[in-house]
Structure formats: structure tokens, C-alpha cells
Amino acid sequence: MTTICLVRHGETDWNALGMIQGKTDIPLNQKGIKQAKECGVFLKSDTWDVIVTSPLTRAKQTAEIISSFIDKPTFEMAEFIERDYGDAEGMTAEERMKTFPDKKYPNQEERTSLTKRIMSGLKQIKQKWEGKRVIVVAHGAVINAILAEISNEEIGSSITRLRNACLNHIEHADETWNVVDFNIVSHLTEG
């Protein structure tokens, strides 16, 4: 069985302001660094084989901090980069509603291509680290799309709002992916 812990990156200033980041490369803020450390402390109590991360700074910082606690190698995979929100990046929810009331953001990555990209990444992880325990540090839309795909839309995209530094566990056994748990934040000292 292959086990994956999907970790959403820690908080950034844009998260704190309610601004959509997408592929815009924003670093962690102080709270996000603290959250990443709390993830590392929590994940240290279990056995992991490898860490995979999105190439965006906020995810890489989170992965590097977690790695400092569990002492495992970190690999970047572009398949787990955040969804491109096109012209909506940098806007708050209020600004997006005002500018794009139909919720269609020009130049946004289509959900079908997002899902295809990230599921390709999961397939690569399963092939490369079959039977291993893998941490994947990624982004809200990426993790939500994985959860939605695996759960047949019962959870995930448009249903679940993932918190910064939350943990989500999935497993692959008998040719099937299953969601074990999601949006776990009990390891964090503050919301």
C-alpha cells in the first residue's frame, strides 16, 4: 500500500488578506513558518520515506521545514504547482465577485487540465515510490482536486475549504485510491 499525506502549505500574507494566489509565488509569513514547524513536529511521530513538493516558494518552504524534522529527501514536482487563476490572481473574494460575477476568470487553468495534471503526478509517485509513505506539500486547489477526484466529488473542490497547513491522507491499494481523512488541523496551535 502506498500512503500519501497531502500537506497544504503554511499561511502567506496573501492568505491572511484573503487574496487568491494561484501561480503567483508568495513566501510564507511568520504564522506560516510556525504552522510548517508544527506540521514537522506532528509528522515526526510517524515514519515517512520521502517528501514531494510543488516548486512554488510557499510549498518549498513548508517542505524544507518539515524535512528538517523528519530528515528525508525532498523532490520538486511541477505537477503539484497551484492552479493558475489567470486574471483573478491577487484579488480578494470581494474584488473577484465584483469583477467576475459569473466566477469565470479569464486565463484561468481549466479544472479538467488541473485534474489531469495532478492525477498524472499521483501516478508518478505511485510508480516511483510504490508501497512507500510519501508527504506531498501542495496547494488548496491541488489538494481539493485530488480529494474530489478520489471521492467522486463527495469532498474537495467547491465543497471543502482546506485550511493552511492541514493534513489530508490518501492510500493506494488494490488499484484504488481512497481518502483516509482530510483537513486535519489538530496539530496546529492556532487557526
Q: Which of 9, 38, 89, 139 is catalytic?
A: 9
Q: Which of 38, 82, 109, 149 is catalytic?
A: 82
Is 96 known to sit in a ligand binding site? no
Is 8 known to sit in a ligand binding site? yes
Is 140 known to sit in a ligand binding site? no
Is 85 known to sit in a ligand binding site? yes
One-character DSSP codes across 24-77: S---B-HHHHHHHHHHHHHHTTS---EEEE-SSHHHHHHHHHHHHHH---EEE-
Is 84 known to sit in a ligand binding site? yes
| Dihedral (Cα; 106, 112, 113, 116), 10-degree rounding | 160
What does the alpha-carbon distance between residue 141 and residue 157 come to, in Å, rounded to a whole number? 7
Is 105 known to sit in a ligand binding site? no
9 as an active site residue: the answer is: yes
Is 12 known to sit in a ligand binding site? yes
Is 15 known to sit in a ligand binding site? yes
Residue 29 has which C-alpha cell? 509569513
Cα→Cα distances 45→40, 48, 69, 106, 137, Å: 9, 10, 10, 44, 18
Annotated binding-site ranges: 8-15, 58, 82-85
**Catalytic sites, residue numbers:** 9, 82
Annotated binding-site ranges for substrate: 8-15, 58, 82-85
